[in-house]
Amino acid sequence: MSSTAGQVIKCKAAVAWEAGKPLVIEEVEVAPPQANEVRMRILFTALCHTDVYFWEAKGQTPLFPRIFGHEAGGIVESVGEGVTELKPGDHVLPCFTGECGDCHHCKSEESNMCDLLRINTERGVMLNDGKTRFSKNGQPIYHFVGTSTFSEYTVVHVGCVAKINPAAPLDKVCVLSCGISTGMGATLNVAKPKKGQSVAVFGLGAVGLAACEGARMAGASRIIGIDLHSGRFEEAKKFGVTEFVNPKDHDKPVQEVIAEMTDGGVDRALECTGSIQAMISAFECVHDGWGVAVLVGVPNKDDSFQTHPVNFLNERTLKGTFFGNYKPRTDIPSVVEKYMNKELELEKFITHSVPFSEINKAFDYMLKGQSIRCIIRMGA
């Protein structure tokens, strides 16, 4: 065990004291891990749109003060009672969702939605005792999705920790903890395009570009990117996109435009925006007989998906996915190996890098639409 095992660690963390206000670098106390928990040192973390959404507290019950962050790479510092598969020094990626290994979902080869450790954005405490592991001068600071990686040290449930190849560069593979794996997995694991087939991707943000990357890896012959911002089209070419459609440039539904472009529809479509209209368009643009559409984006809670039943009767398939159907502990190590084997290209997703002391710049880049992923260098 490390020299700090069992002790409270004082370290720097970027604390959100209020919704929408700049994060403040503070010295916080991080308690030791309890049973089935892992304390790790975060070396690199990245900003995801999910962090920004809940930091702004849009449509949610505010829970502050809080430490955000969930895409990261680090090294195990110490482990709690009952943790046998990890040891100090292991290189790991914390994940916002987990894999307990015992529930019906974990035992199923068809699901990655763990009953115990499924994402919970409103719970700011650890499962073990209902308390936080972060504090400042005795004041509790809440966790975020069980990871809270905007801290030099954090405590995570062991089921949400993926042990990876120690040779993998953490400043690159840290982005696999959320959006990139979600988009790529949606294509490779759910849509499953065959080599030479056509794929349409709605939304060219980080998740959508990752879906395009998955289509490129699968050998798609045509990758059609659909987005309301034409400025994203040039960047998308790096991810294999061959054609672009801006729905605002047409006076007919975009699904009709795509059907005309592809002689009846694409073979596969992925929706990565959360827009209910984009979801309907993605489904209705796939070819009858064999077309598959996959919903990746998260809709508003009051949205209603409406399409004519004949679209199903004509043998179009609609699917959904969560985290690209990857089980965190079982599958994410193999995704890292795709990068190590040069099948997956991660560098093109990383558009910016800032020291931890300038973490608020990462928020500025994302809010202005300037970044895909910004790496935050901890300890700098």
- Which residues are paired to 340 by β-bridges? none
Pull the structure tokens for residue 19: 């919704």
Contacts of 4 by beta carbon, 8 Å cutoff, 6+ apart: 77, 78
The answer to whether 249 touches 276, Cβ cutoff 8 Å, is no
CB-based burial label for 288 (10 Å; 0-12, 13-18, 19+) = middle
Catalytic residues: 48-50, 70-71, 100, 103, 106, 114, 118, 178, 373
**Other beta carbons within 10 Å of 303:** 13
Structure tokens at 1: 């065990």
Q: Quick count: other Cβ atoms within 10 Å of Cβ 62?
A: 13
Take residue 374 and report the two structure tokens written for it: 């910004």
Alpha carbons 32 and 153: distance in angstroms, whole number: 10
Beta strand 161-163 with 71-79: parallel, antiparallel or unpaired?
unpaired
Q: How far apart are CA 316 and CA 206, in angstroms?
A: 27
